[in-house]
Structure formats: structure tokens, C-alpha cells
């Protein structure tokens, strides 16, 4: 089980992320709130999951944010690898060109699951709070 949680993103598809209940499919996990997806109408794109914010893995401000970002990424990976159906609903694009999506896995909203588990916090836009103490 441990290897499953820390496996590289390149094997996300091999572990079943490509199964989907919608026209878009998840290809791999970038961080705790961002995926790479394929949607027929948009092609392969980075996609930001709406409604929550996770700690940064790549542009972190402190070591504790990096560690929390790594854990959030693994939690998201675990949620998606162990779920049944994955439903991706596109909802526009952000200022960085990422697709904005709502994501459901195993019948539950991923944002809610990530917030409940402590790996994210509610986010509806605007200035994000920092993750460093």
C-alpha cells in the first residue's frame, strides 16, 4: 500500500485514473489541487480543482508548506486511485490558462474530502492565506 501512495505521477493512468464517468479523464496528479486531464473539447491541460486550496509543492514558502503539499498530493492520489467512478466537470479557465474543474470521486466531492481530511481548506477566489506558521 505504501508504494501505491508514493508512486510517480507517470503511473497514475496505469493505476486507473483514466476511468471516468464524464468525457474528461484524469491523466496524472500534479499537486494537492491540480491534475493533468484530457477533455475532448480542450485537449490535455492542467486543471485546478475548484472550491478548495491545498499547500504548494512547487512554489512553497517554507519547509512545512512543502511537506504539507506533498502529503496533500498523496491524499488526492489515494482518493482517486481507490475511488470507483471519477467525474470531472469543466467550469472555465483561470488566469494561468488552467482548466477549472469540479471533481467527484467515488460519489463524493473531492474538495469536501480534502478539506475534511485537513489536506486543504475552502477557497472561493481572491487572496489565498499562507500555509506557513
Strands (E), the chain: 25-31, 34-39, 43-49, 52-53, 86-93, 99-105, 108-109, 121-122
Question: Hey, what's the cell of 13?
Answer: 493512468
In tens, the pLDDT along 53-102 reads 999 999 999 999 999 999 999 999 999 999 888 999 999 999 889 999 99
Please tell me the pTM assigned to this model.
Answer: 0.83
Interatomic CA distance for residues 11 and 71, integer angstroms = 18
- The HSE-up count of residue 102 (CA atoms within 13 Å, CB side) is 10
Question: Hey, what's the cell of 92?
Answer: 472555465
pLDDT tier, 17 (very low <50, low <70, confident <90, very high otherwise): low
Cβ neighbour number for residue 125 with a 10 Å cutoff: 7
Phi (first) and psi of residue 91, to 5 degrees? -150, 60
Sorted by where each starts, the structural domains of the chain and their CATH numbers stand as 2-121 (2.40.50.90)
Q: Is the pLDDT of residue 8 over 60?
A: no
20, 40 Cβ separation under 8 angstroms: no
Given the DSSP bridges, would you call strands 34-39 and 25-31 parallel, antiparallel or unpaired? antiparallel
Beta bridge partners of 52: 122
Amino acid at each position: 500500500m505504501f508504494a501505491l501512495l508514493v508512486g510517480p505521477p507517470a503511473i497514475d493512468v496505469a493505476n486507473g485514473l483514466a476511468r471516468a464517468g464524464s468525457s474528461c479523464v484524469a491523466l496524472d496528479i500534479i499537486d494537492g489541487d491540480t491534475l493533468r486531464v484530457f477533455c475532448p473539447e480542450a485537449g490535455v491541460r492542467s486543471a485546478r480543482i475548484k472550491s478548495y486550496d491545498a499547500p504548494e509543492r512547487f512554489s512553497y514558502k517554507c519547509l512545512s508548506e512543502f511537506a504539507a503539499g506533498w502529503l496533500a498530493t498523496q491524499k488526492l492520489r489515494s482518493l482517486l486511485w481507490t475511488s470507483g467512478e471519477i467525474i470531472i466537470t469543466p467550469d472555465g479557465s483561470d488566469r494561468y490558462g488552467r482548466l477549472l474543474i469540479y471533481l467527484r470521486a467515488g460519489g463524493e466531492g473531492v474538495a469536501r474530502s480534502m478539506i475534511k481530511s485537513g489536506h486543504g481548506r475552502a477557497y472561493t477566489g481572491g487572496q489565498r492565506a499562507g500555509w506557513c506558521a
